Amino acid sequence: MNSSSELRLAIGQQLYRIESPFGALPADTGTVSDVAGAPDGSICLLTRRDPRVSAPADCVHVLDRGGALLRSWGAGRITDAHKIAIDAQARVWVVDRDAHEVVVFDMQGQELMAIGQRHGPGQPFNHPTDVAFLSDGGFVVTDGYAGAQVHVFGPEGEPVCAFGSLGRGPGQFIVPHGVAVLSADRIVVADRENDRVQIFSREGEVLGVFDVFCRPMDVFVDAQDTIFVTDAIPTLTRINDRGEVLGRGRGSLNGPHGFSEGRSGEILLAETNPSRLSRLIPIVA
């Protein structure tokens, strides 16, 4: 890229080079919805279609570190691909929003298990949105477009507790849209329509409410235990667990629906409008 046209942004003291679009996708994949970096450096990109009018198609696309497509899967199994996450065992978790289910695969696309009653709203999920992982192998699911709750599960998928209700007060949600986990299993939730991020203990105690965002879409936590938030302004904001802003930048046109961190510290952006994968590459001084 010619240096005169290279786009950069700063998030605090860290400079990034914007590479957009990034990666190769098969034709007619639908709309980019989310992205997750795998432990081996590969990338899982999630795309979605309207299940009412579109034929089934693969929704999980595995790219290598350079963005080349390795394989795709999900057609006929995932109805409404909303968010994706990869755990420490390299298992791929796909949140099937309107099917009220979370489906778990290995990196080759072999199904390992499913959580929730498929096409059974309220059993326990009611249009879930996202999933994140606890230190003991348990996990949390934000739920979601109708549930206004966070569900906590143990390592074997057993329900532990659920907290939250519909509303605008502390500990309440309108649409809990994204989730990540800090040290000590503190749960960070992008409370989108309430324009805030909330932090909870794994039992549901409110530990912090930070309202400097406009429709926050997603959150992730880096290895230094700081929180990144993407919202609809659009900004990409870095905060600490006390809600202090450590940096802000504009890394996309309209704000990514989901984002993740790659193995080398790059930030991967899943943009729906325009539909594309972008990445922010750290610039080392």
Mean pLDDT confidence for 116-131: 97
Which pLDDT tens digit goes with each residue over 134-146? 999 999 999 999 9
What number of other Cβ atoms are within 10 A of residue 128's Cβ? 29
Secondary structure element (H or E) that encloses residue 84, with its range: strand 81-86
Nearest to 84 by CA among 257, 265, 273: 257
Domain boundaries, the chain: 8-275
Which position has the token pair 């080392």?
A: 284
Mean pLDDT confidence for 115-138: 97
Which pLDDT tens digit goes with each residue over 217-236? 999 999 999 999 999 999 99
Angle at 271 between CA 116 and CA 247, to 5 degrees: 100
Pairing of strands 187-191, 176-181: antiparallel
Mean pLDDT confidence for 150-171: 97
- Indicate whether 3 pLDDT > 60: no
Distances, alpha carbon 47 to alpha carbons 99, 163, 218, 222, in Å: 16, 29, 16, 24
At the topology level, CATH places domain 8-275 in Neuraminidase (2.120.10)
Q: 28-59: buried (b, 16+ CB within 10 Å) or exposed (e) per residue?
A: ebbbbbbbbbbeeebbbbbbbbebeeeeebbb
Distance between CA atoms of 95 and 189, rounded to whole angstroms? Answer: 16
- Indicate the pTM of the whole model: 0.96
Distance between CA atoms of 235 and 67, rounded to whole angstroms? Answer: 24
DSSP string for residues in 147-215: --EEEEE-TTS-EEEEE--BSSSTT-BS-EEEEEE-GGG-EEEEEGGGTEEEEE-TT--EEEEE---SS
Residue 6's identity, in one-letter code, is E
pLDDT the model gives residue 4: 57
**Do residues 95 and 78 touch, judged by C-beta distance below 8 A?**
no
Query: 17: burial class by Cβ within 10 Å (0-12, 13-18, 19+)?
Result: middle
Phi–psi pair at 118, nearest 5 degrees = -60, 130
pLDDT the model gives residue 2: 45
Which pLDDT tens digit goes with each residue over 25-58? 888 889 999 999 999 999 999 999 998 898 889 9
- Indicate whether 100 pLDDT > 80: yes
- Indicate whether 278 pLDDT > 90: yes
The chain-wide mean pLDDT, for the chain, equals 95
Chain-centroid distance of CA 139 in Å reads 14
- Indicate whether 263 pLDDT > 90: no
Q: How confident is the model at residue 170 (pLDDT cuts 50, 70, 90)?
A: very high
- Indicate whether 251 pLDDT > 90: no
Q: How confident is the model at residue 1 (pLDDT cuts 50, 70, 90)?
A: very low
Which residues have a Cβ under 8 Å from the Cβ of 71 and sit 6 or more positions away?
61, 62, 108, 109
Which residues have a Cβ under 8 Å from the Cβ of 83 and sit 6 or more positions away?
33, 34, 46, 94, 95, 129, 130, 131, 178, 218, 258
